[in-house]
Amino acid sequence: MKLLSLYLTLLLGSLVHAAPSESTSNIKESIIAPRGWVKRAPAPSDYAIELRIALPQPDFDELERHLYEISDPDHHRYGKYLTKEKIEEISSPSLASINAVRNWLVSHGYDEEYLSASSTKDGFRIRVPVSQAEEMLNTKYHIWEHTATGKTAVRTTAYSLPEELHVHVELVHPTIVFPGIRSMASSARLIPDIEVSTTNSSSSGGVDPVCNNEITIKCLQQIYKFVDYRPSADSGSRIGLTGYLEMFANEQDLQSFYADQRHDALNSSFALVSVNGGLNSQNLSEAGLEANLDVQFGLGLTFPLPGTFYSTAGRPPFKPDLLLPENTNEPYLDWLDFVLSHPNPPQVISTSYGEDEQTIPESYGRAVCKRFAQLGARGVSLFFSSGDSGVGDANPDPTTQMCKTNDGHNTTRFLPAFPASCPYVTTIGGTHHFPEVATSFSGGGFSDLFPRPSYQDDAVTEYLEKLPNGTYIGLFNKTGRAYPDLSAQSNNFAVFLGGVKRHVQGTSASAPTAAAIFALLNDARLRQGLPVLGFLNPLLYKIRNEHPDAFNDVTHGNNPGCGTQGFNATQGWDPVTGLGTPNFEKLKDIVLSMK
C-alpha cells in the first residue's frame, strides 16, 4: 500500500534556516492573464498566502475504471461504491513524489516537525509571505485588478520549479488561477416582478396554467410527475447545497417560502456545515439570492429528507491594505478537500456556480475534475448548472460577448463552462413554459479541455450527424465532452429574499431542481434496500437508449451567443437541453427494476 501524502502547516516565523538545494529551475506553468485583468503593483512582500502543492495521482486510470464499473447498470459491480479509505489508497501520490516535494520544502527551511497527515492525502499546504513564495517559485507576485468589477487578486502569470520536481507536482495554487469574472458567483438573476395570472396562459398534461407565469414547488411536482410521491425522512437519502464567498441562506426567508409553498415543512430547516470558516449570517439584508434559491427549492422539493447547506469561505484573513480590499482565493479545492475527508457526505450535491473553461489553467481544471471523480466513486451524484450565457462567455448579454480565445491569438470561439464541462458531473441546462422550450440562456456546448467520454458517444454522434456540413466550423470542439446532460425549468422561480417574494431565472434554478428529483429517486431505492444511484451519467445515457420516454424531449429553442443563434434544441440529445427533462414516474420504475 502506498504511503499517504502529507499536510504541511507552517506558522509564520517558524522557519528553520537551510539553504535551498542547487538545481535548475524551469517554468512549470504559465498563462496569459485572463481578459480584463490588469497588473497594478507588486504584491507586498509580507502579504501572507497559503500555497497548496498538489501531487499527481499516478493511478487515476485505476480510479476511473472503478468509477465506470460501479456506475454502469449492466456491470456486476453496479452500486458497489468505494470507501473513503479505498479512494485514498488508490489516489495517494507515489512515495517518490512525496519524498521529492518534502525534500524540496526542507531545503527551503521547512523542518519535518511541521509535517502531518492531510485530510485528503494528496499534497502539502504551506502558509508563507509573498517574499518566500517568490523565492521558492522563482516568480513575482503582483496585485491584479479586474477593470470591469474592481475585483483584486494577488497572482502571478508563471512560476518555476526545479526541473526534477515537475513530474512530482500537479500544481501550485494560488499562482496562475485568476478569480473568474463570476468568481464562485451565482448564475441566478432577479427578474422584474410579475403579475401571476392564468389569463392568456395555457398548459396541458395536468400542469396548472399558472406555471407558465410562475414556478413553484407544486408546478415542478406537476411538470416532472411526482405530485403524489412521499419520501421518508428515515430512508437515508440526503441532499446537499453549496454556497461560496459569503452567500448566506436565510432561515426566516426559508420559513416564509414554506408558508407560501410548502406548509407541511414549516419549522424544518437544514444542517449548516462550515468549510474553511464559512459563515451563514442571518441578517435579512445579507440573504443571498443563490443560497436562498438553492435551499428553498432543494429542500422544498425533497421534504422531509435531511438537507445540508455548505458555507465555504474564500477570503481567509490577511493584512489589510488599501490596494487589497479583498482576498479572492478560489474555494473549489477547499470544499472538495473538506467533503472528501468526511466518511458520509450527502449522496446528492448541487452547485450553481461556474467559470469560462478557458480562464482556468489546465492543471487546475484536471485537479478539480479528478476529485469530482473521487466523490462519484463513493456514490455521490454531483449536479452543476450549465451556465447562463448560451454558447458564449461569462457575459449573459449575447450581443456584447467577446467570444475570443485567451491564448494570445484572439480567435473567435464558443466558450464552454467549467465545472459544467467535467465528465464526472451531471450538468443541467434550462427550460421554461409547458410544454417545455429551451431557455435562450441555457449554457451548452463542447469542452476544449476534456475529451468526450464514451458514455455519451452514441447520443452526441447522432446529434453531430444531423448538423449541416460546415455548421459553426472551427467554433467548437466536436470531440470534446458535450454538455448539458439534462435540463429542467429555470425561469420565474418564486423565492423569498430579504423578507420579500421575488422571481428568479437561471440554470441556478434548474440544477437544484434536478438534484432534488434524483434525491427522491435515491429515497425510493433505499427504501427497497437498493444502493443510491451515484455518478449518474452512464446510467442516464443508457436509459436514453432503452427508455427514451423517461425524459421529456425538448425540441424547441436555441442558445444564442457569440453573434450566432447557437445550437438548436432537437429530437434526442442536444447541447441546449441535453437528454431532456426528467419524468419522475418513469424513472422511478426504471431505477427500482435495477438490482
Q: Which candidate, 535, 569, 586, places its Cα nearest to that of 383? A: 535
- Residue 250 grid cell: 436565510
Active site residue 508: yes
- Would you say 236 is a known binding-site residue? no
- Would you say 122 is a known binding-site residue? no
Rounded Cα distance between 504 and 394, Å, is 18
Question: What's 373's DSSP letter?
Answer: H
Residues paired with residue 115 on neighbouring β-strands, in sequence order: 8
CA distances in angstroms from 493 to 190, 297, 313, listed in the order given: 9, 9, 27
Q: Which candidate, 440, 562, 499, 490, places its Cα nearest to that of 189? A: 490
Active site residue 436: no
First to last CA, the chain: 32
Q: CB–CB of 444/575 below 8 Å?
A: yes
CA distances in angstroms from 382 to 202, 290, 341, 351, listed in the order given: 34, 17, 16, 8
The SS3 assignment for 87 reads helix
Q: Which candidate, 375, 384, 379, 383, places its Cα nearest to that of 526? A: 379
Amino acid found at 304: P
Out of 290, 393, 436, 523, the active site residue is 290
Residues 33-36: contacts with CB under 8 Å, at least 24 apart: 33/144, 33/155, 33/157, 33/178, 34/178, 34/180, 34/358, 34/359, 34/406, 35/402, 35/404, 35/406, 36/146, 36/147, 36/148, 36/181
Out of 388, 508, 510, 523, the active site residue is 508
- Would you say 554 is a known binding-site residue? yes
- Residue 544 grid cell: 436514453
In 84-228, which ranges are E strands? 115-117, 123-129, 142-146, 152-155, 158-162, 171-173, 189-191
Active site residue 294: yes
On the CB side of 105, how many CA atoms lie within 13 Å of its CA? Answer: 30
Question: What's 285's DSSP letter?
Answer: G
CA distances in angstroms from 457 to 225, 388, 425, 447, 537, listed in the order given: 29, 25, 16, 14, 12
Q: CB–CB of 123/363 below 8 Å?
A: no
Q: CB–CB of 414/561 below 8 Å?
A: yes
How many other C-beta atoms can be found within 10 angstroms of the C-beta atom of residue 467? 14
Out of 134, 294, 334, 436, the active site residue is 294
Rounded Cα distance between 322 and 326, Å, is 10
Q: Reading across the β-sheet that carries 500-505, which strands appear in turn?
A: 189-191, 500-505, 493-497
Rounded Cα distance between 186 and 243, Å, is 9
- Would you say 36 is a known binding-site residue? no
Annotated binding site for Ca(2+): 553-554, 572, 574
Which residues make up each annotated binding site?
553-554, 572, 574
User: What amino acid positions are annotated as catalytic residues?
Assistant: 290, 294, 508
